[in-house]
Chain A
Amino acid sequence: MTDLLLEWTIKIAVILGALLTAVAYAVLLERRIMAFIQLRRGPNRVGPFGLLQPAADGLKLIFKEDIIPSQASKLLYVIAPTFLLIPSLMIFIVIPFGSEIVLFGRKIALQVTHFDVGLLYVLALGSVSVYGIALAGWSSNNKYSLMGGLRASAQMISYELALGLSVIGILIQSGSLDLVEIVRSQGGWNGLQWNVFVSQPLGFLIFFIAALAEANRTPFDLPEADSELVAGYHTEYSSMKFVMFQMGEYCNLIAAAAISTTLFWGGWMGPGVEAYPALSLVYFTAKVFVFVFVFIWIRFTLPRFRYDQLMRFGWRVLLPLAILNIIITATVKLLVS
């Protein structure tokens, strides 16, 4: 038991460390890619290629004045960012980063833990962040924040439906909610058994769009539409509380990439993982990186939706398509059996 406890503690420490680094560099990556797309250079002064920019930004923000508006609901205002940050970090303990590797003479599975309701746990934590955004918007007592918070809540719960229904096709394929089992059900070195190719191309498309909306990314960034709402629900936040929102958002982005990879693109599967299990970690990281890049690419390519278009698209297109996807998957599965 102590052995197991120690293993979990080490794994959690490693994951949190890696995740926070990844978040810091995702911000830098986004700024650099934005600059290149807009024919600029972007932040390249601090360290080689601007690689120390996240550290400099972090230091600056720690020493910034922490403002709590006099008319805000103080307690809610302070705890609102934690509702976004904590769940987005907690998601990562069930994600399988790779298969099993042998380290110091013992087998180590490359995920912190796995249990029978893994995917349900991910979906449940994913919906907690709505509370953080709604509370932040309401407690700031600022009109822009309130509008941003309300829009964000309505948008996130609308697209959460499509998100939840789009994974049901996966469950019909794998017969398990355990993410490790879901990855194993997509076995084979050549990738032809990956869910996105076998039966769920439509499911993946719905999941991808809904995940963009859940992470409040363009073209669904209505909650923080800078040109109309200043900064949306975090208008009043400064210093480390602003950082917490930022971190939570990028954690959600990486989580969305990791879950898409796990559910639809074969997780850590790839050529040669049976012979060299450490390769699985490389494949997983590479796939997640591609997804993060695509998310960033979309941000600087597509314009923002109008709010009525957003709601109509979610309820009139994505939701019926998700239900259709379940019906098709179940019918095909029944006929094949």
Chain B
Amino acid sequence: MQSSTTNYLPILLIFLAATALASVLILLPRLLARSRPTETKLQPYECGVEPVGSARERQSVKFYLVAMIFLLFDIEAVFLIPWAVAFPHVLKDPAYSPLKYVFYGEMMVFMVVLLVGLLYIYRKGIIEWNR
């Protein structure tokens, strides 16, 4: 069952429908609800006391490091997906029969390299939040 390009059109349709729904939900209280803002009501919530300073403070660098190593491993997943989809087809096709071990082995080497990278991340303590 091959899918054609027109099959992608419903993405646009549902995007428009969902956006319309979201806009209605944002606008509805503007029309229906009473708005009586006071200075205290519009302050950031801090358990009822006057807010101290700004929330735009410096945060732990670990959040940034996690984002960085996420990018690395997400690219790994991007490489793995086309390989995984092609894998059963390569195994089934007799034309590839001598090459299928190469096809398998190359990805295993790639994953071992990434596992070594993961070990390095453990050793560096990037994911140890209590240190």
Contacts and interface: CB of A to CB of B under 8 A. Distances in A.
Interface stretch (A252-260, A263-271, A318-326): A318-326
Contacts of B118: 315, 319-320
B85 A177 contact: yes
A150 B60 CA distance: 10
A104 to B, nearest CB: 20
Nearest to B71: A157
A71 B29 CA distance: 21
A68 B26 CA distance: 12
A-side interface size class: 35 or more
Contacts of B111: 323, 326-327
A124 B28 CA distance: 30
Contacts of A5: 9
Interface stretch (A26-34, A78-86, A274-282): A78-86
A306 B65 CA distance: 19
Contact of B55 (A8, A142, A174): A142
A240 B25 contact: yes
Contacts of A121: 11
29 contacts: A9-B13, A12-B13, A62-B33, A69-B42, A70-B42, A71-B44, A71-B54, A78-B26, A86-B18, A90-B14, A141-B55, A143-B46, A150-B63, A153-B63, A160-B74, A161-B74, A164-B77, A171-B84, A177-B85, A230-B45, A239-B29, A241-B26, A308-B129, A311-B66, A311-B129, A326-B80, A326-B84, A330-B87, A330-B108
Interface of B: 1, 3, 6-11, 13-15, 17-19, 21-22, 25-26, 28-30, 32-37, 39, 41-47, 54-57, 59, 62-63, 66-67, 70, 73-74, 76-77, 80-81, 84-89, 91-92, 100-101, 104, 107-108, 111, 114-115, 118, 121-122, 127-130
